[in-house]
Amino acid sequence: MNVFLELIRYKNCVMAGLAAVIGGGIAYNAAPGDILLLTLVFITVFLITGAGNAINDYFDAGIDAVNRPDRPIPSGRLRKGSAYKFSIALFACGILTAYFIGTAPFLIALFNSLLLYVYAFSLKRKVFVGNLSVSYLTGSTFLFGGAAYGLKGIESILVLFFLSMLATLAREIVKAIEDMEGDSKDGAVTLPIRIGERPSAYIASGVGILAVLLSPVPFMMELFNTSYLLVVGIADIVFLYAVFLILKKNPSASSKYFKVAMFFALVAFIAGSFIR
């Protein structure tokens, strides 16, 4: 069982599920409905995120043999066929769960599942398209939570969707820089392979700084209380340090700090929503 939890990267699944619940909680305040829907929201996002991670490892077995040899498939601890079947089962369960939330969540879950599959199969090897796909998918966790409470719910979390996309896009470009060796051997044409490491680093830095500059907007829109500002300030500092690291040509450390910053941003969303 541990190898399957590692395959789906369950900690990322939990974070994605929490993001969706936060989006749903904000939407609930804007358009009250059945609060128990948030449980199904978490389960759906957890399952589909896990499915996406698993199918990504299935198609990336060759790349991971160079970049991530310790992962379940390249390390020989899990057969590719088993990973594939497990991924499809998770996709099916996630889509089915979304059906019981509502039409809009069901359609988002179905679209995202298809996009995750196509991304793993081919889009991630396309210049910038893969980065944008992952950025949308990450931001759409908030969108999915909002969709549980209708159109008004979606409108209430659009700014979080946009900010999450920006932060994720910056980290995805940094990860592409980090993975240049393995991607090149696999024939992928990522942004840093096409335009070079340094220009890609400048783009990632610009996007990251833009996310920092826009981070107070949810508070200004009165989506969050002052607790949000205190915690998001920590996230912003870590974001800026990650930008500094990528400019200093340290993509591995930069990617890790971008992930830490995104964790603090998620904590800020929680603090801003529930801590008075």
Question: Could you tell me the CATH number of the domain that includes residue 10?
Answer: 1.10.357.140
Last residue of a domain, one of 156, 187, 205: 156
Phi, psi of 36 (to 5 degrees): -70, -15
Q: By three-state DSSP, how is residue 216 classified?
A: coil
CA–centroid distance for 39 within its chain: 19
- Residue 2 and residue 35 in one domain: yes
CA distances from 41 to 84, 104, 195, 259 (A): 24, 12, 39, 23
pLDDT for res 61: 82
- Structural domain that includes position 92: 1-156
Boundary of a domain, candidates 156, 173, 194? 156
Task: Name the domain boundary from 156, 173, 189.
Answer: 156
Task: Report pLDDT for 179.
Answer: 81
48 plus 91 within the same structural domain:
yes
pLDDT at 95: 98
Euclidean distance between CA atoms 95 and 37, whole angstroms: 15
- Which pLDDT score, from 0 to 100, does residue 38 have? 96
Number of domains, the chain:
2
Instruction: Enter the pTM of the model.
Output: 0.86
Residues 99 and 6 in one domain: yes
Residues of the chain with pLDDT under 50: 276
143 and 164 both lie in a single domain: no
Whether residues 165 and 219 share a domain: the answer is yes
Give pLDDT, residue 186.
Answer: 66
Determine the Cα–Cα distance for residues 107 and 116; give it in Å rounded to an integer: 14
In this structure, are 20 and 91 located in the same domain?
Answer: yes
One domain, residues 56 and 109: yes
Residues in the chain: 276
Q: What is the CATH number of the domain that holds 215?
A: 1.20.120
165 and 60 in a common domain: no
Looking at the structure, tell me whether residues 149 and 122 fall in a common domain: yes
| Residues 107 and 8 placed together within one structural domain of the fold | yes
Please tell me whether residues 163 and 109 are part of one structural domain.
Answer: no
What is the distance between the alpha carbons of residues 28 and 150, in angstroms, rounded to a whole number? 10
Per-residue model confidence (pLDDT) at position 1: 62
pLDDT in the model for residue 156: 87
pLDDT attached to residue 68: 81
